[in-house]
Structure 1
């Protein structure tokens, strides 16, 4: 399986986990929320909103365009801290995020 296929599979797993945990939102944040210049849009979105409305679509857009994927990536540590005791099925979501991050670990 190609790296792109693995990324696609894990993006879908994150989406499925968010939906199964009842964390998927049907309505996007307002347009001003997307204009944030802060990392993870911390001033305008919750971390779960950023994951759903920014991260997943941008990664999908890279795949769809055949664009280069990031050389390194680590989003799970942010969610390990933020999700402390916050959500149902926390462990399952973190497992999905860690699995995703592993695709971007250095192979050195």
Structure 2
């Protein structure tokens, strides 16, 4: 976890837009997953959570803590392809804006 993005505000804004888009897609859950589900060691917790649950309960929560405490951010990110796979086969355009936001976050974190 190195190469902090130059502009933490951009990362924070992108986190907010990801949350807004999850809510707009009705993928925001008021029900917290079990502690066991959150302890998955698989990438994106694919064995215990839906991708959108991973975004909400693991990615967004951890990233908000890092940003708020001015901690180093991950230097590699590849969420957009996972989102594309998650939304594949659904109604045309569903998830497209979320994928765009995740593409931006991938670029921000990867320094590109």
Common fold by TM > 0.5:
yes
Quick check: 97-106 or 32-41, which moved more? 97-106
Residue 3 (structure 2) aligns with: none
Matches within 5 A, 1:82-97: 82-86=86-90, 89-97=94-102
CA distance change for structure 1 residues 106 and 100 in 2, over 3 Å: closer, same or farther? closer
Matches within 5 A, 1:28-67: 28-67=32-71
Q: CA RMSD in A?
A: 1.7
Could you tell me which runs of 5 or more consecutive residues in structure 1 were left unpaired when the two chains were aligned.
none
Does the residue aligned with 2:47 lie in a helix, a strand or coil? Answer: coil
- How high is the TM-score relative to the length of structure 1? 0.88
- Give the alignment partner of residue 68 of structure 1, picking from 72, 75, 91: 72
Residue 26 (structure 1) aligns with: 30
Residue 81 (structure 2) aligns with: 77
Partner Cα distance (1:53, 1:86) in 2: 23
Q: After TM superposition, where is structure 1 displaced by more than 2 Å over at least 4 residues in a row?
A: 85-89, 104-107
Does the residue aligned with 2:109 lie in a helix, a strand or coil? Answer: coil
Could you tell me which runs of 5 or more consecutive residues in structure 2 were left unpaired when the two chains were aligned.
1-5
- How high is the TM-score relative to the length of structure 2? 0.85
Alignment partner of 1:102 is 2:107:
yes
